[in-house]
């Protein structure tokens, strides 16, 4: 693969890592918000929903961890291709498409969970 193509893919990979770090930070913020809500006296009626949101945020943590590991593996593969000066192969192209699709889906899923959380508590915490 030409060095410029590998450089572009490495740049895209760095973008993925920044996005995943941002999602992780936001997920931590949401879990901290749950802890704040639990400190309030009138939260007993919200416990089932809080548990559901907490579970979904824990699942998000797991997903982000898996995606971060995938990005590391992708970067290792790019570095191998750089040192061996191989042409892009179907394996890299397939991984690239999967990574793009998975990162994009994770972002959409996180945004949906975050919006559902904020909407629910905006409606029920008055």
What's the pLDDT score for residue 110?
A: 96
R_g (Cα) of the chain, nearest Å: 19
Q: Is the pLDDT of residue 43 over 70?
A: yes
The total domain count for the chain is: 1
Residues of the domain holding 118: 3-124
Per the CB < 8 A criterion, the answer to whether 121 and 34 are in contact is: no
Confidence of residue 83 (pLDDT cuts 50, 70, 90): low
Rounded mean pLDDT of the chain? Answer: 87
Q: Render pLDDT for 46-66 as a digit per residue (tens, 0 to 9).
A: 889 999 999 999 999 999 999
Q: In 58-96, which positions are buried (b, 16+ CB within 10 angstroms) versus exposed (e)?
A: eebeebbeebeebbeebbebbeebbeeeeeeeeebeebb
Instruction: Return the DSSP state at 40.
Output: S
How many Å apart are CA 119 and CA 5, to the nearest integer? Answer: 42
Tokens of 33: 């918000």
CA dihedral 74, 79, 18, 28 (to 10 degrees): 60
């Amino acid at each position: 693969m030409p060095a410029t193509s590998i450089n572009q893919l490495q740049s895209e990979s760095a973008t993925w890592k920044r996005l995943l770090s941002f999602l992780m930070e936001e997920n931590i913020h949401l879990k901290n918000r749950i802890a704040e809500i639990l400190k309030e006296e009138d939260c007993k009626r919200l416990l089932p929903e809080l548990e559901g949101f907490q579970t979904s945020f824990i699942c998000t943590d797991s997903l982000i961890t898996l995606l971060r590991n995938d990005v590391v593996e992708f970067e290792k593969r790019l570095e191998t291709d750089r040192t061996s000066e191989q042409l892009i192969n179907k394996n890299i192209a397939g991984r690239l498409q999967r990574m793009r699709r998975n990162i994009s889906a994770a972002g959409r899923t996180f945004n949906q969970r975050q919006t559902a959380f904020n909407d629910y508590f905006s409606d029920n915490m008055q």
